[in-house]
Amino acid sequence: MLRFIVRRLLQLVPILLGLSVLLFAWLRALPGGPAQAALGERATPEAIARYNELFGLDQPIWVQYLRFLGRAVQLDFGTSSRTGRTVTTEFLERMPGTVELTLFAMVFAIGVGIPLGYLAARRHGSWLDSGAVIGSLLGVAIPVFFLAYLLRLLFAVELGWLPGSGRQEVRIDATHITNFYVLDGLLTREWDAAWDALLHLVLPGIALGTIPLAIIVRITRASVLDVVNEDYVRTANAKGLSADTVRRRHVIRNALLPVSTTIGLQTGLLLSGAVLTETVFAFGGVGSAIYDAIFTRDFAVLQGFILMLAVVYVLVNLLVDISYGLLDPRVRVR
């Protein structure tokens, strides 16, 4: 198992280096270069020359890349041209919102997806099975931003049951310790703040969790159908074990192995930034910050956020591999 973990850790190095090369090349491939893109209408030849000299863009390309890599290792991605704050500070302030939204979306997807997929497999060919399959196809096919607009229009605008924007009501005088608003409300015993922050997660969390929900339903259903036809399940039934024992010890335990991998990968994808969902609900997370940076040409934020989100995604995948190795005895043996 230790060799498996070390091998996965060593594989991270070329992946992260490749991501840094792609990101560096993308910024240098912008029309007119980074200076032209950042300065916009103020891009006079003198301003471009000063910008290139200030940020070392007049140096050879390999020198620029090594400087970029050295700063990236130190989490120094420069300063946002929109807010004047360091990119790392902006990221650390925005990331808790995205983590909260991701956790809510995955709890929703897992809580509904696994039971629904299991029941669909146990009642294979019934109306429940057909409905689960059709629903999962619709969940993948419907664009997230379209569903987000529908949820906001119905439950926030028309019915007024749930808040439709932001992370918390601005009129609430809440104490923010960690920037995880729900957790902050619980730590400070500001129950109204915690409840309000939780309500603000409902609509964007459901919109964001529909695709993971659909995938988890399909994977769970397919996995359970495969496991119930395995020889060890037939043997357990032939021994006279109770249906609950067979279901718990042999079917569910083995069927959840591929589901756990799917859950980990979907969590990594959601943590990488829900740009559309956060934009629709004006949710102050990483995704909305990337959206703002695109339209304001804040390339320091784009560069830093994309690279740090890529690192988060790679680390989540590493944790998924390790967790799968711990759960699956075949990997532990290897």
Is the pLDDT confidence value at 69 over 70?
A: yes
88 confidence band (pLDDT: 50, 70, 90): confident
Tokens of 256: 């959840």
Task: Compute CA distances 229 → 83, 112, 322, whole Å.
Answer: 59, 24, 28
Least confident of 73-87, 95-109, 151-165: 73-87
Q: Are 39 and 55 in contact (CB under 8 A)?
A: no
Q: Are 111 and 209 in contact (CB under 8 A)?
A: no
The CATH number that domain 94-281 falls under is: 1.10.3720.10
- Gap between the Cα atoms of 240 and 253, Å rounded: 19
Q: What is the DSSP letter of 250?
A: I
Q: What residue ranges do the domains of the chain occupy?
A: 94-281
Tokens of 183: 């957790």
Q: Which of 249, 195, 257 is nearest to 226 (CA)?
A: 257
Question: pLDDT by residue (tens digit) across 121-162?
Answer: 888 878 888 888 888 888 888 888 888 889 998 898 888 888
- Gap between the Cα atoms of 261 and 102, Å rounded: 16
Question: pLDDT by residue (tens digit) across 286-311?
Answer: 888 888 887 777 777 888 888 888 88
Task: Compute CA distances 325 → 113, 153, 166, 230, 267, whole Å.
Answer: 23, 44, 39, 22, 18
More confident residue, 50 or 186: 186
**Mean per-residue pLDDT over the chain, rounded:** 81
Burial 63-84 (b: 16+ CB within 10 A, else e): ebbeebeeebeeeebbbbbbee
What residues are paired with 86 via a beta bridge? 79
Cα torsion angle, 113, 114, 119, 125, sign: positive
In the prediction, which pLDDT does 105 show? 92
Task: Compute CA distances 316 → 263, 306, 323, whole Å.
Answer: 11, 15, 10
- Gap between the Cα atoms of 279 and 299, Å rounded: 19
Tokens of 199: 């309500």
Residue 219 is which amino acid?
Answer: I
